[in-house]
Amino acid sequence: MTDDIPSRRGVFRIAAAGAVATAAVAAGAAEAQAYQGNMERALSSLYDALASLRESTPNKGGHRETAIRLVQQAIAETQAGIAFADAHGGGGAE
């Protein structure tokens, strides 16, 4: 009859194993979305550049507008790179 009831020690071992497994899964998930420090800093700089361009006077022969479009494109590409890295393990090889 006592063979069917787990002991306190057995319950503790099962709980400890579950905690270790949970930690391993959580660590794997954290690696999948690793912080992209350089890309995040580049994105911040691009937003600063965009703000400066928008604040500048428009007497640049159309070059200011072209620069704004190109910076917006760079922002989109940087965001896409961050999203790609997040989806594929957080960085490393391209």
Domain interval for residue 73: 35-89
Residue 80 lies in a domain: yes
Nearby residues of 93 by Cβ (< 8 Å), 6 or more positions away: none
Q: How many domains does the chain have?
A: 2
Whether 26 and 43 map to the same domain: the answer is no
Q: What is the pLDDT of residue 30?
A: 47
The whole-model pTM stands at 0.62
CA 41 to chain centre: 13
Whether 39 and 12 map to the same domain: the answer is no
Q: What is the pLDDT of residue 61?
A: 96
Whether 54 and 19 map to the same domain: the answer is no
Whether 40 and 85 map to the same domain: the answer is yes
Q: What is the pLDDT of residue 35?
A: 81
Spatial distance between the Cα atoms of 86 and 35, rounded to a whole number of angstroms: 8
The total of other beta-carbon atoms located within 10 Å of residue 70's CB is: 13
Whether 42 and 80 map to the same domain: the answer is yes
Give the CA angle between residues 32, 36, 39 to the nearest 5°.
140
Going residue by residue through the chain (94 aa), what tens digit of pLDDT does each one get?
455 555 666 655 666 666 555 555 555 544 456 688 999 999 999 999 999 999 999 999 999 999 999 999 999 999 999 999 999 887 654 4
Residue 94 lies in a domain: no
Spatial distance between the Cα atoms of 55 and 72, rounded to a whole number of angstroms: 15
Residue with tokens 């999948």: 32
Q: What is the pLDDT of residue 41?
A: 97
